[in-house]
A and B are shown apart, each in its own frame.
Chain A
Amino acid sequence: ILNVEQSPQSLHVQEGDSTNFTCSFPSSNFYALHWYRWETAKSPEALFVMTLNGDEKKKGRISATLNTKEGYSYLYIKGSQPEDSATYLCAYFGNEKLTFGTGTRLTIIP
């Protein structure tokens, strides 16, 4: 059984503050690490797919880093806005399968 773990499980952040959370995954048989944003009553939406150790990707105020050797990825949100409230999922792709973590539920407090 592959363990993809995300921490923290939930997070409340004041509007305007920056935040980050972690995804840890097996470092063996690694092919790609996905991040998705999942708003309540909607479907998961892809943020990033990263494959290379040391990779860093950015989309607006959201960025992510990847360390495949130690098996972790960080997602950063700069200057949180209410519309950032969502569950952020990471998923490890290896051995032809995508295994999702249980997510970090982020709530932005206005």
Chain B
Amino acid sequence: DSGVTQTPKHLITATGQRVTLRCSPRSGDLSVYWYQQSLDQGLQFLIQYYNGEERAKGNILERFSAQQFPDLHSELNLSSLELGDSALYFCASSVGGGGNEQYFGPGTRLTVT
């Protein structure tokens, strides 16, 4: 158990809908990262927050947004969902920035039908 929690574990929704994925980092970790893993691809970095502020952006679509709250939990919002958004979404946390090892949550499997 990494200490990072993600909810929900599974999510099934229809195209065009909007969903919110939630992540609670390990106690003491200030950074939260979001990753997407689609069927034929490796882990794709989406976005990083550090202590409430956006720190780095990867291949995140404009339909997706995220935020980190004062209690350091983070939410990833996915809107106008398309079939291709079906993927496993991981959240990870670390003490500081990307030079520190990251602890991954169990992931949220999103299925868009």
Q: What residues on B are CB-neighbors of A91 within 8 Å?
A: 43
Which residues from A are CB-within-8-Å of B55? 96
Residue contact A102 to B107, C-beta cutoff 8 Å: no
Write the nearest CB–CB distance from A54 to chain B, whole angstroms: 17
**Is A45 a contact partner of B2 (Cβ separation < 8 A)?**
yes
CB within 8 Å for A46 and B101 given contacts A89-B43, A98-B45: yes
Query: Interface majority SS on A: helix, strand, loop or mixed?
Result: strand
Interfacial residues of chain A within 54-95, with CB under 8 A of chain B in the complex: 89, 91, 93
> Quick one: which of B57-103 are within 8 Å of A by CB?
58, 90, 92, 97-103
Among candidates B43, B56, B98, B99, residue contacting A44 with C-beta atoms closer than 8 Å: B43
Q: How far is the CA of A48 from the CA of B58 in the complex (A)?
A: 23
* A46 engages B45 (CB within 8 Å): no
Contacts from B to A (Cβ < 8 Å): 2, 33, 41-45, 48, 55-56, 58, 90, 92, 97-107
Chain A interfacial positions (CB closer than 8 Å to B): 31-32, 34, 42-46, 48-49, 51, 89, 91, 93, 96-103
